[in-house]
Amino acid sequence: MTLLPSTAASRAEELDALDAILPFDRRDQLAGLLTDDDVATLKHLAGEGMGENTLRALASDLAYLEAWCQLSTGSPLPWPAPESLLLKFVAHHLWDPLKRGEDPGHGMPADVEAGLRLEGLLKAKGPHAPGTVRRRLTSWSILTRWRGLSGAFGAPSLKSALGLAVKASNRPRQRKSKKAVTGDVLARLLAVCAGERLVDRRDRALLLTAFASGGRRRSEVAALRVEDLVDEEPVRADPNDPNSPPLPCLSIHLGRTKTTTNDDDAHVLLIGRPVIVLKRWLTEASINDGPVFRRIDQWGNVDRRALTPQSVNLILKSRCLQAGLDPALFSAHGLRSGYLTEAANRGISLSEAMQQSLHKSLTQAARYYNDAERKQGRAARLMI
In order along its 384 residues, the chain shows pLDDT tens digits of 334 445 666 666 666 555 555 555 566 666 677 777 777 777 777 766 666 777 778 888 888 999 999 999 999 999 999 999 999 999 898 887 777 778 888 889 999 999 999 988 888 777 888 888 888 999 999 889 888 888 888 888 888 888 877 776 655 555 566 788 999 999 999 999 999 999 999 999 999 999 999 999 998 999 999 999 999 999 998 888 989 999 999 999 987 555 554 445 688 999 999 999 999 999 999 999 999 999 999 899 999 989 988 899 999 999 999 999 999 899 988 999 899 888 888 888 888 888 888 887 777 777 777 666 666 666 666 666
Residue 194 has a pLDDT of 93
Residue 186 has a pLDDT of 95
Could you say which of 141, 168, 195 is where a domain stops?
Answer: 168
Residue 172 has a pLDDT of 53
DSSP result, 130-165: HHHHHHHHHHHHHHHHHTT---STT-HHHHHHHHHH
Are 94 and 168 contacting, i.e. CB atoms less than 8 angstroms apart?
A: yes
Domain assignment present for residue 178? The answer is no
Q: Are residues 97 and 34 in the same domain?
A: no
Q: Are residues 153 and 81 in the same domain?
A: yes
Domain that includes residue 33, residue range: 7-49
Q: Are residues 280 and 344 in the same domain?
A: yes
CATH of the domain at 207: 1.10.443.10
Q: Are residues 159 and 287 in the same domain?
A: no
Are 106 and 99 contacting, i.e. CB atoms less than 8 angstroms apart?
A: yes
Could you say which of 168, 203, 237 is where a domain stops?
Answer: 168
Q: Are residues 223 and 129 in the same domain?
A: no
- DSSP 3-state of 378: coil
Contacts 24+ apart (CB under 8 A), 166-173: 166/94, 166/130, 168/94, 168/95, 168/96, 168/99, 169/94, 169/95, 169/96, 169/97, 169/127, 169/130, 170/96, 170/97, 171/126, 171/127, 171/129, 171/130, 173/129
Residue 3 has a pLDDT of 40
Q: Are residues 345 and 220 in the same domain?
A: yes
Burial class for 344, CB neighbours closer than 10 Å (0-12, 13-18, 19+): buried
Please give the model's pTM, rounded to 2 decimal places: 0.62
Domain assignment present for residue 1? The answer is no
Domain assignment present for residue 173? The answer is no
Indicate the pairing of strand 267-271 with strand 294-296: unpaired
